[in-house]
Amino acid sequence: MPTRAKILEGAAKVIARSGIRSATVQDMVKGAGVSRRTFYQYFRDKDDVVLSLYQLNTANLAMEIEAAVRAADSNAERLRAPVDAYLDFQQRGGRLLGVLQSEAMDPESRLWPHRKQVMESLVLLTRRAVASASGPLLDPLVYWTLFLGLEDAVLHLRRGGPLAPDDRARMARVFHPMFASVMASAVANPERFAVDPE
């Protein structure tokens, strides 16, 4: 395994166990089995590692949502795919993902600007998928609301741990009909939700 990946893997275990605030560079070095000198050849500080872990996780999330949308066989599946892919990723992400997301929601965090970029990319991807499935190009705020609601509900249901399968199923039960209802309303009343193409 490349050294940088080894450091990230060790740091991920430490952060998942201790949280970002309690984790130290020394803990990460020990968890990765590398020297401090080696650590600093790849990362400036603990925050640099945290940002790298967050970027890696969010890039994987975006790829999984895009792949799920591409693989959808019907318009109905295409509308459900972003929600299902998001929830599946959250469930697999365990405690580490919850810790990183909580940190990213703090406007003072170095993760905050990247979180905004991630949300913008998820919004754009979902907006295009829905437009190809149902026709109208909806106001991006519809999708911002979807993903912010998903993110907040996931953090609430995690309660500091992984997202349980029952909670994942519950979220799907709630978010699928809500999203379908918004889409049906948008198709019936495009002037309320639709905007001109960007």
| Residue 4 shares a structural domain with residue 91 | no
| Residue 26 shares a structural domain with residue 52 | no
To the nearest 5 percent, what fractions of the chain are helix, strand and coil? 80, 0, 20
| Residue 38 shares a structural domain with residue 51 | no
pLDDT of residue 28: 97
For residue 94, pLDDT over 80 is answered with: yes
What single-letter DSSP state applies at residue 22? T
List the CATH number of the domain containing 122: 1.10.357.10
Residue 122 covered by a domain = yes
Average pLDDT estimate for 62-83: 87
List the CATH number of the domain containing 12: 1.10.10.60
Q: Which residue range is the domain that position 38 belongs to?
A: 1-43
- Side chain identity, residue 149: G
Cβ pair 21, 81 in contact under 8 A: no
Instruction: Tally the domains of the chain.
Output: 2
Cβ pair 32, 95 in contact under 8 A: no
As a whole number, the mean pLDDT across the chain is 89
Which of the two residues, 93 and 48, has the higher pLDDT score? 48
d(CA 110, CA 51): 7
d(CA 184, CA 131): 12
Residue 175 covered by a domain = yes
For residue 22, pLDDT over 90 is answered with: yes
Which of the two residues, 164 and 189, has the higher pLDDT score? 164
pTM attached to this predicted model: 0.88
Residue 198 covered by a domain = no
Any idea which residue has 């609601």 for tokens? 149
| Residue 127 shares a structural domain with residue 35 | no
| Residue 13 shares a structural domain with residue 57 | no
Average pLDDT estimate for 123-146: 81
- Side chain identity, residue 42: Y
| Residue 38 shares a structural domain with residue 73 | no
| Residue 92 shares a structural domain with residue 164 | yes
Angle (CA) 134 182 130, round 5°: 30
Sign of the alpha-carbon dihedral angle for 86, 87, 91, 97: positive
